[in-house]
């Protein structure tokens, strides 16, 4: 289960509202926690810098952001971890190493995060930790280089933690902190409730006003949609524009004002990327009374397909927005030929061809997929299931993919809790066990059902339709 290790309700009694623990608790809405973290103390390495450089086979001076600097600090992490283990420390798969020299903050899959004293503040540490969730840096669509070693637009989604150093941080007792994560990252991690994410057009409506709620506050403090996906690519339902609201609350308090943001999520190479769209040369925000319009393709009839998002009213933690879309996955585009079928097949009457020619099987399959663009989307977003699977949905954050029949079996277990749960001991009665589908799941089930749940969890990543690194050229896994 990607990004989940607890039940999914935000604690109300966190004592350190600016801490790393509090950051993940608030931004994940209680789905993820760093509880159980151990601090092992300081260890002294028996090496000097020149010796470490020699071990790394680095001959040149280190330049921040260069490949050689990453190799150098990776070697330091390796040496530190091995020194700790030599002293009897049992390390976790996810590690954070702090060294008392240099200026850097880096993450590597094998040995985790490394920080130096100058970089020891919440924004940087949480940024590097989020890299371990298979997320890269965040981007805007501007053709600018924020840092000399960055790509165009890299580090320029200022509303997102993964643009740290250029993001809207705020001063906390522990140094600069925040902001939260953009909606596309929260979707990827499973930190948004499925019943408050909207795949626009799925219900057949293409023009209406809705209430959008802020991602910056606890989910139970609002009731509107938290994340809207607007498709634009008939060949890939995972390519879409997103709409989210951010407000100056909690770890987003560095944001200047309530802002509606538009991102484009699109596949590039082997990964999907989210890109914050600029509304003018130097700002990205939609505010009350403004709108965003995107023209797509021209249809065979000479009509533009277009998307429009209009911000009608902004409140403290909500906004009323109107969305309209004339996107149609089945309409032929200008330059294509709409070839009519002699007999309707699988619900389609025409096929869009690149030129006037005979229709083949691949043309039919492609047009059928476009015809079922919305109806086949039983699940949506970054945690879409493979064909034939649906979300287990024990709660609104449970994105484990299972067969529909299996989902029915799982959800029926709640009907038997009166006789299976001992109110006096607050435990399951004899012959039944806590299901523990995730931390905090106390539903009492048979041993057979508990084992089946463990199998569901173990196989969960195999059934994801999109299981790849997000916002970067990298791979998932160790």
Interval 452-469: pLDDT, tens: 999 999 999 999 999 889
d(CA 212, CA 318): 6
The residue that leads in pLDDT, 475 or 408, is: 408
Average pLDDT over residues 157-185: 96
> Do 431 and 423 meet the contact criterion of CB atoms below 8 Å apart?
no
d(CA 262, CA 264): 7
DSSP category for residue 278: P
Strand partners, 225: 212
> Do 307 and 241 meet the contact criterion of CB atoms below 8 Å apart?
yes
Nearest 5°: CA angle at 365, between 364 and 370? 95
How large a percentage of the chain has pLDDT more than 90? 79
Is the pLDDT assigned to residue 65 strictly greater than 70?
no
Preceding amide of 264 cis, omega within 30: no
How large a percentage of the chain has pLDDT more than 70? 95
> Do 383 and 399 meet the contact criterion of CB atoms below 8 Å apart?
yes
DSSP category for residue 454: H
Average pLDDT over residues 109-114: 91
The residue that leads in pLDDT, 53 or 162, is: 162
d(CA 156, CA 160): 9
Strand partners, 85: none
CB contact set of 458 (below 8 Å; sequence gap of 6+): none
Handedness of CA 82, 84, 90, 92 (dihedral sign): negative
Averaged confidence pLDDT in the chain: 92
Q: What is the CA radius of gyration of the chain?
A: 25
> Do 142 and 278 meet the contact criterion of CB atoms below 8 Å apart?
yes
Predicted pLDDT of residue 14: 43
d(CA 241, CA 266): 9
Is the pLDDT assigned to residue 2 strictly greater than 90?
no
**3-12, 175-184, 290-299, 337-346: range with lowest mean pLDDT:** 3-12
Predicted pLDDT of residue 3: 73
d(CA 308, CA 277): 14
d(CA 311, CA 293): 12
pLDDT digits (tens, 9 = 90+) for 387-444: 999 999 999 999 999 999 999 999 999 999 999 999 888 899 999 999 999 988 999 9
DSSP category for residue 251: G
The band of 133, judged by pLDDT with boundaries at 50, 70 and 90, is: very high
- Which phi and psi angles does 325 have, rounded to 5°? -145, 130
The band of 60, judged by pLDDT with boundaries at 50, 70 and 90, is: low
Longest dimension (CA), the chain: 80
d(CA 193, CA 262): 20
Please give the full DSSP string across 369-425, using - where no structure is assigned. HHHTTTTT-SS-GGGPBPTT-EE--SSTT---EE-HHHHHHHHHGGGGHHHHEETTT
Is the pLDDT assigned to residue 67 strictly greater than 80?
no
Predicted pLDDT of residue 10: 57
pLDDT digits (tens, 9 = 90+) for 250-293: 999 999 999 999 999 999 988 999 999 999 888 899 999 999 99
> Do 319 and 222 meet the contact criterion of CB atoms below 8 Å apart?
no
d(CA 76, CA 371): 55
Strand partners, 464: 385
Is the pLDDT assigned to residue 62 strictly greater than 70?
no
Strand partners, 152: none
> Do 218 and 29 meet the contact criterion of CB atoms below 8 Å apart?
yes
3-class secondary-structure state, position 440: coil
The torsion defined by the Cα of 461, 189, 155 and 68, in degrees rounded to 10, comes to -40
| Tokens matching residue 15 | 């004592």
Predicted pLDDT of residue 15: 44
| Tokens matching residue 341 | 């079928």
Is the pLDDT assigned to residue 68 strictly greater than 80?
no
Q: Parse the chain into domains and list their residue ranges.
A: 183-327, 337-371, 390-463
The residue that leads in pLDDT, 95 or 13, is: 95
DSSP category for residue 35: T
Helix (H) or strand (E) holding 361: helix 361-371
**By C-alpha distance, which of 96, 47, 90 is closest to 72?**
47
Average pLDDT over residues 298-316: 97
d(CA 184, CA 233): 17
**By C-alpha distance, which of 213, 274, 270, 273 is closest to 242?**
274
The torsion defined by the Cα of 203, 205, 206 and 210, in degrees rounded to 10, comes to -90
The band of 31, judged by pLDDT with boundaries at 50, 70 and 90, is: very high
Nearest 5°: CA angle at 178, between 285 and 97? 140
Scored b (16 or more CB within 10 A) or e, 458-467 reads: eebeebbbbb
Bridging pattern class, strands 291-298 and 304-314: antiparallel
- Give 3-state DSSP helix, strand, coil % of the chain, rounded to 5: 25, 25, 50
């Amino acid at each position: 289960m990607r990004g989940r290790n607890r039940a999914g309700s935000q604690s109300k009694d966190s004592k350190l509202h600016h801490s790393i623990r509090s950051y993940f608790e608030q931004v994940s809405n209680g789905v993820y926690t760093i509880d159980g973290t151990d601090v092992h103390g300081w260890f002294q390495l028996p090496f000097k810098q020149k010796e470490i450089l020699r071990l790394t086979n680095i001959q040149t001076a280190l330049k921040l952001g260069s490949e050689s600097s990453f190799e150098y600090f990776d070697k330091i992490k390796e040496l530190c971890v091995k020194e700790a283990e030599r002293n009897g420390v049992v390390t976790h798969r996810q590690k954070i190493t702090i060294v008392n020299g240099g200026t850097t903050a880096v993450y590597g899959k094998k040995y985790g995060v490394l920080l130096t004293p100058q970089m020891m503040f919440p924004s940087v540490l949480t940024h590097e930790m989020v890299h371990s969730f298979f997320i890269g840096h965040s981007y805007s669509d501007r053709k600018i280089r924020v840092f000399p070693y960055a790509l165009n637009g890299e580090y320029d989604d200022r509303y997102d933690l993964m643009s740290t150093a250029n993001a809207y941080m705020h001063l906390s007792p522990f140094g600069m902190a925040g902001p939260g994560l953009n909606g596309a990252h929260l979707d990827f991690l499973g930190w948004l409730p499925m019943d408050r994410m909207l795949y626009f057009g799925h219900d057949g409506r293409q023009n209406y006003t809705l209430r959008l709620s802020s991602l910056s506050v606890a989910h139970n403090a609002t009731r509107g949609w938290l994340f809207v996906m607007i498709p634009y690519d008939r060949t890939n339902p995972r390519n879409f524009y997103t709409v989210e609201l951010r407000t100056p609350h909690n770890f987003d308090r560095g944001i200047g004002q309530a802002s509606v943001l538009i991102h484009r999520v699109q596949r590039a190479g082997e990964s999907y990327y989210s890109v914050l769209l600029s509304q003018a040369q130097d700002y990205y925000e939609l505010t009350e009374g403004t709108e965003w319009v995107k023209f797509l393709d021209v249809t065979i009839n000479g009509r533009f397909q277009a998307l429009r998002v209009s911000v009608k009213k902004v409140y403290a933690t909500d906004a009323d927005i109107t969305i309209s879309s004339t996107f149609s996955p089945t309409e032929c585009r200008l330059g294509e030929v709409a070839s009519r079928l002699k007999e309707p097949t699988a619900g389609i009457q025409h096929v869009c061809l690149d030129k006037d020619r005979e229709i083949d099987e691949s043309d039919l399959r492609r047009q059928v997929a476009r015809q079922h663009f919305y109806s086949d989307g039983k699940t949506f977003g970054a945690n879409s299931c493979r064909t034939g699977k649906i979300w287990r949905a024990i709660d609104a954050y449970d994105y484990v993919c299972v067969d529909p029949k299996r989902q029915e079996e799982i959800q029926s277990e709640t009907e038997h809790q009166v006789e299976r749960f001992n109110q006096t001991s607050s435990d399951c009665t004899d012959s039944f066990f806590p299901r523990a589908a995730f931390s905090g799941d106390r539903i009492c089930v048979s041993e057979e059902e508990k084992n089946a749940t463990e199998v569901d969890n173990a196989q969960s990543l195999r059934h994801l339709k999109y299981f790849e690194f997000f916002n970067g050229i990298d791979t998932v896994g160790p």
